[in-house]
Structure 1
Amino acid sequence: MWKKTAMILMVLPVLMMTLAAAPHQIQAAEELGLHVDAAILIDADSGQILYEQNADAPLGIASMSKMMTEYLLFEAIKEGKVSWDQEYTVTDYTYQVSQDRQLSNVPLRLGETYTIRELYEALAIYSANAATIGIAETIAGSETKFVQLMNDKADELGLEGYTFVNSTGLNNEHLHGMHPEGTGEKDENVMPAKSVALLAYRLLEDYPEVLETTSIPSKIFREGTADAIKMDNWNFMLPGFVFEYEGVDGLKTGTTEFAGHSFTGTAKRGDTRLIAVVMKAVDKNGKGSYQARFDAARTLFDYGFNQFSKQEIIPAGHQFKGHETLPVKKGKEKTVKIGVEQPFSMLVKTTDKDQYGVKFSQDDSKLKDGGLEAPVKKGTVVGKADIIRKDGGDLYGFVQGGGLAADVVTTEKVEKAGWFKLSLQAVGDFFSGLWGKSTDFVKGLF
């Protein structure tokens, strides 16, 4: 456990001119004017939370559930359990769901075969529900078993407050009486906005290639066949659509009566990528709509891109005054230099950037009698450089553990001293001890 004993050792200089006045804390929900049941905005690189509103409340997620199906598909592909060219034969279940034109679907023929890539593109672009079930059946053998995989993976990823009852996010009553075993007829997938953001964060971190498909505005399913159908992406913030937003290239919409109009979007500008989640968005009159969810996402993106900038908080090799070295025992050198291993950058609110500083927290568990014992390897972690706020304000949290810190390591190696030098050191320590005892004795006489 890190021992937090040192005082603030450095306060960062101002890195760029102030653009606008704003409070130090994360803005309150009403200040952004969002009409949603929940929302969250995070940095896609670090998982740092920039804004949140009711983000811990479990709510319906509808087709945003398909991000978990995508994650499990990419994982199965990576592990060689499934291939893109593998063919799926349409079952009675997927056929019946695919013929329901009230749902988002591509037509699937009973007994016909389709490649996993075809089904995946239909899922990612058109949110095709029967195609999603086909992928689930391919990976796990049945949707019931796939739902178990979804819940297990959610636990593994550290999601909280989740319940998966099917692979699509539909209400079970739309599955023609064939919903997964052990789930209720009117059940629906639920999850808090923070967990949705974490799922999106992990999907982009582990399988960024998902954006190659989610960024496609339109594509023809089975072009040149009698079943050809144009798939327009439901993400209307993509280039060419009515709510186009610069930098948007994903990720997943979701709409059911229970979940309302929800959206997990991601956009990149420069070296900054953001993830925004809005749940059950409505307009100022309380009516849910596609525009309401995209307007809410736009507000979040504008806030993130306009109010924050990525700054290097700690440079690589930075040394702390008074803590430039650590003692080394039994080494050819008596001390070893220490410093920050890697540079640390984070998104900082433009008006807050002069409020950040760092302090050194030494890991005493690595020391023996106040020093390191030789041999000492270069890069040995000896503590942390913790980011703090000069004004004592709260730091932004993260959707997945972690924190605002960088490792402090030894920046050189120290070899163990030979027997002769160790002998001299022992003799020196012996006489030093005698001298100390003698002076203590003399002082005691007076």
Structure 2
Amino acid sequence: MKKRNGYRISAVFLSVLLLVGLLGPGGMKAEAAFEVNASAAILIDAETGQILYEKNSEKQLGVASMSKMMTEYLLLEAVKAGKVSFEDTYQVSDYVYTVSQDRSLSNVPLRAGETYNIKELYEAMTIYSANAATIAIAEKIAGSEAEFVKLMNKKAKELGLEQYKFVNSTGLNNKDLKGNHSTGGEADENMMSGRDVATLAYRLLKDYPEVLETASIPKKKFREGTDDEIAMENWNWMLPSLVFEYEGMTGLKTGTTDFAGYCFTGTAERNGQKLIGVVMDAQSTDGAGSYNARFVEMKKLLDHGFNQFERHEIAKAGSQLKGAETLPVQKGKENEVNIQTKSAVAILAPKSSNAKYKADVVLNRSDLNANKELTAPVEKGKVVGSVVVKDEKGQEVPFLKAAADTQVETAEKIEKANWFVLSMRAVGGGIADGWNWIVDKVTGWF
């Protein structure tokens, strides 16, 4: 449902009266004043990618360990493709060992030359933000962290991120890598915009929702029952049983460095409504950053989403939108084909107002001929366009650029007409044209 450049069917709107809140330029805002104390913040609907709130969301900032969402994505992608298994083993390199011994960083102790399985390294990374374990995963997937960083930047482009720079797999400042950094300068670290962080989280949950099975674990022991046992408490203190417990919290990733400040990507679900919030460089009311501040500001952000917005279905799956029920077809047994929504059209709208919304169909130019027709044969279920939702002022409801559109598809199959039918149409058209010429001439005589 994001904006597309394409042929727009004029005057094709589905007007729907919704009980919603006041609209502000660039986004949807409820009546009450709302501000997040952070250098950047964004709140989105995890189902659709709709943007509910944003502050400085296009500014590139440090992301610290929120970077590990990209490492998680690449690992889960590799597992799905069969390139890596959670049962695979990894032997600790000198680099990984050296980083793991720095307990001022978030780490589980790893022994030099010891073998660990990928699952326990993944749990250490996802639950405890263990940095050496993250580098180990990078080495397992790509052979070296330097090669893994190339994959991170490549995947960022594929996912539609725009303001990003990855220089390592962890989000640490390069100076913390004990002289082993291979990308960027000594003081560099990973950077992204708030929108990019939200987009990465959105795609991670869409493509690999199983990440929450691990990210939602509040506490776990690493190598329980061994000499290396260590208690891992999730840095997401908003999970159940932890100090900032928040109803419905499911994940996802914190991050803290001197450069990035206190950052957090939080995911939560209540009554079937799923939200993703991002705060970057969160501060308390006195302007100081702290661990607590990122959870206080995240609570404020998620409360805003759950309390001020509700889901409204504008059109069901398989609906024909008024004024856009059909498309003309050239050379078909029928001259037109019915078109319909492939999935439901829905938005999260602010509560308690009388704003109206419209659904606008945007057709794919590449599927149409010069006369804006489809050409037979046309298969059933062919995607011919998408839906854009607008408010009563004509402004589009904002979505992440990488969010999936609600598509418009053909509702039936149209076969190509045979040569005889096409010939008769051509003859008929010629007769009609000739008759029109005669009428025009005779009329001119009088």
Superposition TM-score, scaled by structure 1 size: 0.90
Q: Which residue of 1 aligns with 2:437?
A: 437
Letter in 1 for 2:78: A
> Structure 1 residues 194, 382: closer, same or farther in 2, change over 3 A?
closer
Letter in 1 for 2:136: G
Letter in 2 for 1:209: E
Q: How does 1:19-418 map to 2 (within 5 A)?
A: 22-25=22-25, 26=27, 27=29, 31-177=33-179, 179-321=180-322, 323-351=324-352, 354-361=355-362, 366-367=368-369, 369=371, 371-400=373-402, 406-407=407-408, 409-418=409-418
Deviation of 1:223 after TM superposition, in Å, equals 0.7
- Answer yes or no: is the 8 Å Cα contact 2:13–2:359 preserved in 1: yes
Alignment partner for residue 14 of structure 2, among 10, 34, 59?
10
Q: Which structure has the higher relative contact order (CA within 8 Å, separation 6+)?
A: 2
RMSD across aligned C-alpha pairs, in angstroms?
Answer: 2.5
Identity %: 53
Q: Secondary structure at the match of 1:59?
A: strand
Deviation of 1:353 after TM superposition, in Å, equals 6.7
- Answer yes or no: is the 8 Å Cα contact 2:50–2:397 preserved in 1: no
User: Quick one: distance in 2 between partners of 1:185 and 1:384?
Assistant: 46
Q: Secondary structure at the match of 1:238?
A: coil
User: Quick one: distance in 2 between partners of 1:370 and 1:289?
Assistant: 58
CA displacement, residues 393-437 of structure 1 (integer Å, 9 cap, x when unaligned) = 45223142666x541x43233334445544543443332222111
Deviation of 1:124 after TM superposition, in Å, equals 0.6
Gap regions ≥5 residues in structure 2: none
> Structure 1 residues 94, 356: closer, same or farther in 2, change over 3 A?
same
- Identify which range, 129-138 or 291-300, moves more after superposition: 129-138
Deviation of 1:308 after TM superposition, in Å, equals 1.6
Deviation of 1:144 after TM superposition, in Å, equals 2.0
- Answer yes or no: is the 8 Å Cα contact 2:195–2:400 preserved in 1: no
Letter in 1 for 2:397: L
CA displacement, residues 132-189 of structure 1 (integer Å, 9 cap, x when unaligned) = 1111122222222222222222222222222222211112222222x22243222221
- Answer yes or no: is the 8 Å Cα contact 1:24–1:393 preserved in 2: no
- Answer yes or no: is the 8 Å Cα contact 2:44–2:277 preserved in 1: yes
> Structure 1 residues 265, 287: closer, same or farther in 2, change over 3 A?
same
Q: Secondary structure at the match of 1:155?
A: helix
User: Quick one: distance in 2 between partners of 1:9 and 1:413?
Assistant: 25
CA displacement, residues 5-38 of structure 1 (integer Å, 9 cap, x when unaligned) = 5125331133xx56xx54444349x932321111
- Answer yes or no: is the 8 Å Cα contact 2:379–2:413 preserved in 1: yes
- Answer yes or no: is the 8 Å Cα contact 2:12–2:322 preserved in 1: no
Deviation of 1:269 after TM superposition, in Å, equals 1.7
- Answer yes or no: is the 8 Å Cα contact 1:169–1:189 preserved in 2: yes
User: Quick one: distance in 1 between partners of 2:396 and 2:330?
Assistant: 40
- Identify which range, 327-336 or 155-164, moves more after superposition: 327-336
- Answer yes or no: is the 8 Å Cα contact 1:194–1:399 preserved in 2: no
User: Quick one: distance in 2 between partners of 1:184 and 1:418?
Assistant: 68
- Answer yes or no: is the 8 Å Cα contact 1:386–1:406 preserved in 2: no
> Structure 1 residues 316, 90: closer, same or farther in 2, change over 3 A?
closer
Q: Secondary structure at the match of 1:284?
A: coil
Q: Number of residue pairs matched? A: 438
Letter in 1 for 2:442: V
Structure showing the higher strand proportion among its residues:
2
- Answer yes or no: is the 8 Å Cα contact 1:6–1:360 preserved in 2: no
> Structure 1 residues 162, 438: closer, same or farther in 2, change over 3 A?
same
> Structure 1 residues 390, 109: closer, same or farther in 2, change over 3 A?
same
- Identify which range, 210-219 or 375-384, moves more after superposition: 375-384
Deviation of 1:371 after TM superposition, in Å, equals 4.7
CA displacement, residues 255-286 of structure 1 (integer Å, 9 cap, x when unaligned) = 11111111111111233211111111111112
Gap regions ≥5 residues in structure 1: none
> Structure 1 residues 286, 383: closer, same or farther in 2, change over 3 A?
closer
> Structure 1 residues 329, 263: closer, same or farther in 2, change over 3 A?
closer
Deviation of 1:443 after TM superposition, in Å, equals 1.5
- Answer yes or no: is the 8 Å Cα contact 2:48–2:403 preserved in 1: no
User: Quick one: distance in 1 between partners of 2:323 and 2:401?
Assistant: 35
Letter in 1 for 2:262: H
